Every structure is written in C-alpha cells, then in structure tokens.
Amino acid sequence: MAIADVSQSPIADLVSLKGRCAVVTGGAQGLGKAMVRRLAEAGASVLVGDLKIEQAEKAADEFSKRFGGKVIATRLDVTDTASIRAAADLAQSELGGLDIWVNNAGLYPNILLREMTDDVWNDVMAVNLRGVFASCREAAGRMMDAGTGGVLINVVSTAGFKGVAPGMAAYVASKHGVRGLNKQLAIELAPHDIRVLGVAPTFCETEGNMAALAELPERVREEIAATTTSALGRVGVPDDIARAVLFCASDMSLFMTGSTILVDAGETA
Ligand SMILES: NC(=O)c1ccc[n+]([C@@H]2O[C@H](COP(=O)([O-])OP(=O)(O)OC[C@H]3O[C@@H](n4cnc5c(N)ncnc54)[C@H](O)[C@@H]3O)[C@@H](O)[C@H]2O)c1
C-alpha cells in the first residue's frame, strides 16, 4: 500500500480536517487547548482528554460553540492504560472514528540530579514516555483494525534535541525517548498508512509552565531563559505550536513520517 498522491488536491482540501476524528491529550489548557482549537477550526471532531475534566469540558464547550463541530471532553489519565482505552473507545463511539491522536500531556519538574528520586523519574516517564507509547499502541491498534490509516502526533520539545537548564534530566531523557519512538513507530506503522510525527516546541508561555516557573528560584529562571532563546524577537505563544500540529494532522504533511519538526524560533539553529 502506498500513501495517496494529493498533487491535484486544492489547498483548501489539503488543510481541511472535515470528517476526521481527533483526540488531544492534555487538551484542557496551554498548548493542548490551542491544538484543540485549530483542529476543530479545520473541521475535525475532537475529544479533549485531560486529568482536569472541568477545564477540558469548558474548552470543549467553547470550541464546539465557536466552530459548530463536535468537541467533547473526557477525564483521561495517560499513565493508566484502561483510561487511554476508554478515551479511544469514546472517540470511536461518540465522534465516529479515530484518525488523529495528539500526545501532548506532559510533566516538567525541575529537580537537580542529587535530589531527583526514583519516584520523580518514574512519574515523569509514566506521563511523558510510557503514556505516549501506550497511547500510540491503543490508537494505532484501532486505526489498523479500521483499515483507514491515520496520524499520531507526539509533542516533543527542544529538550528532545539537546540538554537544557540544570534540573531537567528526567524531562530531557523522556523527550529524547519520544523522538526515538517517533522514528521507530513510523517504520512499524507505515505499512498501515499510519504516519507518526513529532512537534518540538521551544519555550511558550502556558498556564502550566508559568506556574511552575514562578515556584523556581531566580537563578533557575535565569538558566532556563539563557537556554531557550528566540531569534525571532518574541516568546512563543501556544498557537505557534498548534499551527504545526495542524500541518502534521492534515494532508499537507502526507509525505512525512518519522520526523520531529522543531518549532523553536531558531533556538537550536
Ligand atoms: N510550554 C512550553 O514551553 C513547552 C515547550 C516544549 C515542550 N512542551 C510540551 O508541550 C506539552 C504541553 O505543555 P504545556 O506547557 O501546555 O503544559 P501545561 O502544564 O500547561 O498543560 C499540560 C496539560 O496536561 C495535562 N496532564 C498532565 N498529566 C496528565 C495525565 N497523566 N493524563 C492526562 N493529562 C495530563 C494537565 O492537566 C494539563 O492540562 C508537554 O508535553 C510539554 O512537555 C511545552
């Protein structure tokens, strides 16, 4: 089986997600919420999965009213396979299928090596790496059964390309792991017309990371600022990342799989 050649498709069709069904993990706030917005705007039906169910429901309500499509919410814990399965089942039963799965939920505690316990390491891996793996397995399995193909989009970070500020060992290791998973799953899933792509943001102001930053000592904030520079003259906003996710989800990127796209304003240049 070969991926379609869409050379003759009008641009509007290539960007459109009309008739497609998507899940966004960690979609209640921050980058994930911006992704839900762009996917819904492009015509996809979207399931917002998050631990924060009230916020997820608010986001779903906002975007279904704004764009007129189906946007629903569910409580999802990506560290729990049963919860991932329930979300995938819900997408299939309530949205009518599963074409796009965005693994965006993530943790980013800043703890220096000597203070980083095994439990902290395991907690970060359980969300950022095992949660991505388990979600890919559950989503891809359903896409294979349906025989319709699809796309898995895993949110990485510039921390998946380089070391960053002190205190981020578990985070950096987890994000390098996701980049590796993208490459491997792309090979494994290509025969099923399932593409696997990564999007790697630089620093963007979100509810989560601004709250986390506020709790860090000034010295650590300065180290983080020094390792996340923007050559483009401003700090990233969630929509900068959401537009790249839309590109990956749409047929605009149909000939791409296995790569992780840096959306980093030149940080790693
Ligand atoms: N914001 C940035 O600067 C930045 C930069 C690079 C990469 N990233 C990555 O982008 C993603 C989103 O970051 P953000 O800044 O929007 O974060 P955020 O903290 O604002 O939002 C993360 C969301 O994930 C949810 N979540 C956490 N654990 C979960 C779990 N076990 N199951 C389901 N949902 C869970 C949270 O409830 C929250 O709604 C993360 O993977 C992060 O590593 C962010």
135 pocket-lining for ligand 1 (C-beta < 6 Å): no
* Domain encompassing residue 256: 11-261
Mutate-to-test residue for ligand 1 from 38, 53, 76, 104, highest number of ligand atoms within 8 A of CB:
104
Q: Which pLDDT score, from 0 to 100, does residue 225 have?
A: 83
Q: Which pLDDT score, from 0 to 100, does residue 168 have?
A: 95
Residue 179 is assigned to a structural domain of this protein: yes
Residue 268 is assigned to a structural domain of this protein: no
239 pocket-lining for ligand 1 (C-beta < 6 Å): no
Domain count, the chain: 1
Kindly report, residue by residue over 151-192, the tens digit of the pLDDT: 999 999 999 999 999 999 999 999 999 999 999 999 999 999
Which letter does DSSP use for residue 53 in this model? H
244 pocket-lining for ligand 1 (C-beta < 6 Å): no
Nearest residue (CA) to ligand 1, atom 7: 157
Q: Which pLDDT score, from 0 to 100, does residue 122 have?
A: 98
250 pocket-lining for ligand 1 (C-beta < 6 Å): no
Q: What percent of the chain has pLDDT over 70?
A: 100
Which strand ranges, in their side-by-side order, compose the sheet holding 71-75?
71-75, 45-50, 21-25, 100-103, 150-155, 194-201, 260-263
Interatomic CA distance for residues 247 and 253, integer angstroms: 6
Residue 269 is assigned to a structural domain of this protein: no
Residue 6 is assigned to a structural domain of this protein: no
Kindly report, residue by residue over 219-255, the tens digit of the pLDDT: 888 888 888 889 999 999 999 999 999 999 999 999 9
Q: What's the full length of the chain, in residues?
A: 269
Model confidence, pTM? 0.98
Instruction: List per-residue pLDDT tens for the chain, 269 residues long.
Output: 689 999 999 999 999 999 999 999 999 999 999 999 999 999 999 999 999 999 999 999 999 999 999 999 999 999 999 999 999 999 999 999 999 999 999 999 999 999 999 999 999 999 999 999 999 999 999 999 999 999 999 999 999 999 999 999 999 999 999 999 999 999 999 999 999 999 999 999 999 999 988 888 888 888 888 888 899 999 999 999 999 999 999 999 999 999 999 999 999 99
Residue 196 is assigned to a structural domain of this protein: yes
Residue 186 is assigned to a structural domain of this protein: yes
Give me the DSSP letters along 180-222. HHHHHHHHHHGGGTEEEEEEEE--B--HHHHHHHHTS-HHHHH
- CATH for 252: 3.40.50.720
Residues 6+ apart with CB under 8 A from 122: none
Mutate-to-test residue for ligand 1 from 110, 135, 174, 206, highest number of ligand atoms within 8 A of CB:
206
206 pocket-lining for ligand 1 (C-beta < 6 Å): yes
Neighbours of 124 (CB within 10 A): 25
Interatomic CA distance for residues 4 and 68, integer angstroms: 29
Q: Which pLDDT score, from 0 to 100, does residue 227 have?
A: 80
Tokens matching residue 186: 């792309």
Q: Which pLDDT score, from 0 to 100, does residue 253 have?
A: 98
Task: Give the nearest ligand 1 atom to 55 CA.
Answer: 39
The rounded radius of gyration (Å) of the Cα atoms in the chain is 18
Single-letter amino acid, residue 222: E
Task: Give the nearest ligand 1 atom to 31 CA.
Answer: 16
Residue 2 is assigned to a structural domain of this protein: no
Residue 252 is assigned to a structural domain of this protein: yes
